[in-house]
Amino acid sequence: MTPDQYVQDKAAASGSSFYYAFLFLPPPRRAAITAFYAFCREVDDVVDEVSDPGVARTKLAWWRKEVAQSFAGQPTHPVMQALMPWAAEFGLEQRQLQAVIEGCEMDLEQTRYLDFPALERYCHLVAGVVGEASARIFGQTQPCTTAYAHTLGLAFQLTNIIRDVGEDAMRGRIYLPISELQRFDVKAHEITSRQYSGRFTALMKFQAERAHGLYEQALALLPAADRRSQKPGLMMASIYRTLLREIERDGFQVLHQRVGLTPLRKFWLAWKVQALGKL
């Protein structure tokens, strides 16, 4: 299997909303973003699929060295072999990939966040920096597009957190800030034991309103000159925001299930942005 086939299979197998946005890119940019996304999946899977934290730390340490030596011209993993030919052309930096690894390392050390600024730091590493790198691959021309990409990445990550509350709790992680759980009088054991209540619904409505506000903020930050090049990000915004609205319509029934959109619906939402420019 070639490195390009490896990353293609990795991206397709994830079933992620990101994959549908990649389909509309020209081949070089599609190859670059697919490889970058596969890298993100590889390091994220270390945390989600390796049950022994010590083994997971060792694997992430290996990835840190692999990224460093890849940028020194010696990639060995198929993901890095697929990504490195595009790194210089699209302005990818080692610090961006190392930041993603750092964010995954946080998952091994920290399962709770005191307040939103603390959570925001984590989101910056695992989503904001990913947005920054992705915007470059998509064809960013304006410096201020970076702020848009970081804000949109934060909105995506908060949507993920809302969707995955129950699933994450089963892994021993609650990303909802402790200060906000206290504000709405929701106990951690109620989440881990999948207890719904009016208090939990109010807490989740608060989280959703914050996410919606960030989507609006991100769209306002995107300069007109880069709107065309950043269509893949806008496709993802359409898919993720539709998912968020589905979760809201379902009454935030996220403790016992993972709400999702069908592949056909994701493709349709992506196509509407591509063809009609409608989110």
- Domain 113-278 is classified in which CATH homologous superfamily? Farnesyl Diphosphate Synthase (1.10.600.10)
Write down the pLDDT at residue 71: 97
**pLDDT of 256 higher than 70:** yes
SS (H, E, C) the chain: CCHHHHHHHHHHHHCCHHHHHHCCCCHHHHHHHHHHHHHHHHHHHHHHHCCCHHHHHHHHHHHHHHHHHHHCCCCCCHHHHHHHHHHCCCCCCHHHHHHHHHHHHHHHHCCCCCCHHHHHHHHHHHHHHHHHHHHHHHCCCCCCHHHHHHHHHHHHHHHHHHHCHHHHHHCCCCCCCHHHHHHCCCCHHHHHCCCCCHHHHHHHHHHHHHHHHHHHHHHHHCCHHHCCCCHHHHHHHHHHHHHHHHHHHCCCCCCCCCCCCCHHHHHHHHHHHHHHCCC
Write down the pLDDT at residue 15: 67
More reliable by pLDDT, 79 or 263: 79
The residue extents of the domains of the chain are: 1-109, 113-278
CATH (residue range 1-109): 1.10.600.10
pLDDT tens, 83-108? 999 999 999 999 999 999 999 999 99
**pLDDT of 278 higher than 70:** no
Q: Same topology for domains 1-109 and 113-278, yes or no?
A: yes
Question: What pLDDT band is residue 66 in, cutting at 50, 70 and 90?
Answer: very high
pTM score? 0.93
Average pLDDT rounded to a whole number, residues 199-217: 98
Average pLDDT rounded to a whole number, residues 128-148: 96
